[in-house]
Amino acid sequence: MAKDILGEAGPHFDELNKLRVLDPEVTQQIIELKEECKDFVDKIGQFHKIVGGLIELVDQLAKAAENERMKAIGSQNLLKFTAKQRERKKKKKQREAQQQQLQALIAEKKMQLGRYQVEYEALCKVEPEQNEFIDQFFFQK
């Protein structure tokens, strides 16, 4: 029994008739596994490079998106400020127009007052004449 185990795990000869501890099939499987592991490690390295580039690209895009967002917020604030400025100017123009209308109305009323004063003075001059005429008319009857 010990000889069978030793025979299975014992020394072997390869194709070049060199003495080997492992079975040539096992040695071949180990070499294939080693090559597959090397290929896997190479592919993982390439994967890490690709993922690293992708992460870097996503970070750049995130920064660009953040910059654009900040520009949009700035533009939005500028637009609101401009709209408020326009509204203030519009209200100011309305107040100025209303003030001009009121000044024109005041000027018109002053002119009307002047006419009324002239008319009043004329009527004040005519009143004694009219009263005298009325008195003469009543005396004649």
* Domain assignment of residue 60, given as a range: 2-133
pLDDT in tens, 10-65: 666 666 666 666 677 777 898 999 999 999 999 999 999 999 999 999 999 999 99
Q: Which residue is associated with the tokens 């005519």?
A: 126
SS3 for 12?
strand
Q: Is residue 140 part of a domain?
A: no
pLDDT tens for each residue of 120-137: 999 999 999 999 989 888
Residue 100 lies in a domain: yes
Q: First vs last Cα of the chain: how many Å apart?
A: 179
Kindly report the pTM of this predicted structure. Answer: 0.48
Q: In this structure, is residue 139 part of a structural domain?
A: no
Task: Give the DSSP letter of residue 20.
Answer: E
- Is 121 part of a structural domain of the chain? yes
102 in any annotated domain: yes
| Exposure on the CB side of residue 121, measured as CA atoms within 13 A | 5
**Residue 20 near residue 11 (C-beta atoms within 8 A):** yes
Quick check: is 117 in a domain? Answer: yes
